């Protein structure tokens, strides 16, 4: 069955990356829902995930059943995760519009590798069952509070409606911009009430963290703590940066080798790998699929390089040709280049 194979491929990637797999991993891996849809759903901005998905509840249920069958064949350990919204009311999240409670429970199942240690398994369960951070949104369009009908720079969902921070009793919090992980972590820990501020990035098609709202006294205390061990954290940052740089070089080398395995005649495998795998770039080389050297993800990285370097694609865009029209015009050229690269160099 084609769907069964696609479910298995998506599950394999998630399992290789994190040692466990959920139904959400499979639904995003199948591209039935985008990560931005998951984020909106977790914020409580949709009544169910089905409302945002490209398929109906029946297909989602089929995927969950196929995942369970695959996990059983793999000998994975069954578990359960809780899905609670990041809205003020902390409502339980639904996967389907009208599904029964038994059907909903099937979506809460997760499957854990036996290779994961018992201690890590306990930490995973604790983390997943912990209520998520409250999520405050930077609105993209004009909006009105469902309570006072006023507006503001931030909104939070409550009872499936947007509310301003005043109506949500959160207007005493101060904004700590993102950028200092230690300060943000400590300020959240010291604050009795806090909320993560996110904004949708249309270019990257995802929600990105902009900062955290915390109590003013908590921020002052966190700043004191950061001053006390600033030198120690600086040394740790240097070590971490060196470690990440080594990991990136190693990962890029493995990606380049996989590119040459798929396309032996590719003349710039190292260049493609170095470009696609830049940390924090959001490019295909940083996806979970690429990190486990999934063939489709590696091919997409090569296609992207060919599109920009071996075709008139950029030129067409500059002339105002719509993106999808331009891609259609260069498709034959891309196919020809890929076909020539699949052959070993003479």
171 pLDDT above the threshold of 60: yes
Domain ranges of the chain: 1-129, 135-228, 229-342
pLDDT > 70 fraction of the chain, expressed in percent and rounded = 94
Closest CA to 284 of 255, 309, 260, 262: 255
279 pLDDT above the threshold of 70: no
Q: pLDDT tens digits, residue range 280-307? A: 555 555 555 555 677 888 888 899 899 9
pLDDT at res. 13: 87
87 pLDDT above the threshold of 90: no
121 pLDDT above the threshold of 90: no
CA dihedral 146, 211, 21, 76 (to 10 degrees): -120
- What are the structure tokens assigned to 101, written together? 């409670």
pLDDT at res. 139: 94
Q: pLDDT tens digits, residue range 155-166? A: 998 877 899 999
pLDDT at res. 165: 93
| Measured distance CA(47)–CA(161) in Å, rounded | 11
DSSP of 118-176, one letter per residue?
Answer: HHHHHHHHHHHHSPPPPEEEE-SS----TTTS---S-BEEETTEEE-TTTTT-TT-EEE
- What are the structure tokens assigned to 54, written together? 């490209």
16 pLDDT above the threshold of 90: no
pLDDT at res. 88: 77
Closest CA to 262 of 307, 224, 299: 299
Q: pLDDT tens digits, residue range 210-261? A: 999 999 999 999 999 998 887 877 787 777 777 776 667 888 888 899 999 9
Average pLDDT over residues 86-101: 87
CA angle centred on 280, ends 278 and 283, rounded to 5°: 60
- What are the structure tokens assigned to 288, written together? 């979970």
Average pLDDT over residues 165-175: 93
């Amino acid at each position: 069955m084609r769907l069964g194979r696609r479910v298995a491929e998506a599950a394999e990637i998630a399992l290789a990356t994190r040692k466990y797999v959920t139904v959400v991993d499979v639904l995003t891996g199948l591209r039935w829902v985008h990560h931005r849809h998951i984020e909106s759903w977790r914020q409580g901005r949709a009544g169910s995930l089905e409302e945002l998905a490209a398929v109906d509840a029946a297909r989602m249920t089929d995927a969950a059943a196929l995942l369970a069958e695959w996990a059983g064949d793999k000998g994975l350990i069954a578990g359960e995760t809780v899905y609670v919204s990041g809205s003020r009311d902390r409502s339980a999240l639904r996967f389907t519009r009208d599904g029964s409670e038994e059907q909903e429970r099937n979506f809460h199942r997760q499957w854990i590798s036996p290779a994961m240690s018992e201690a890590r398994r306990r930490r995973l369960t604790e983390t997943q069952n912990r209520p998520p951070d409250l999520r405050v949104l930077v609105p993209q369009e004009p909006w009105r509070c469902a309570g006072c009908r006023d507006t503001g720079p931030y909104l939070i969902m409550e009872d499936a409606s947007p509310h301003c921070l005043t109506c949500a009793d959160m207007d005493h919090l101060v904004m700590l911009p993102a950028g200092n992980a230690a300060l943000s972590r400590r300020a959240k820990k010291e604050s009795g009430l806090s909320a993560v501020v996110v904004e949708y990035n249309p270019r990257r098609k995802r929600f990105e963290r902009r900062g955290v709202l915390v109590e003013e006294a908590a921020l002052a205390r966190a700043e004191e703590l950061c001053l006390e061990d600033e030198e120690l954290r600086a040394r740790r940052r240097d070590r971490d940066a060196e470690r990440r740089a080594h990991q990136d070089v190693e990962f890029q080398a493995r990606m380049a080798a996989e590119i040459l395995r798929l396309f032996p005649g590719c003349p710039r495998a190292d260049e493609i790998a170095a470009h696609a795998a830049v940390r924090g770039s959001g490019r295909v080389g940083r996806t979970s699929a690429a990190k486990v050297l999934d063939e489709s993800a590696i091919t997409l990285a090569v296609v992207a390089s060919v599109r920009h370097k071996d075709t008139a694609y950029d030129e067409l865009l500059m002339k105002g040709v719509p993106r999808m029209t331009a891609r259609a015009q260069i498709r034959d050229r891309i196919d020809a280049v890929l076909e020539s690269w699949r052959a070993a160099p003479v």
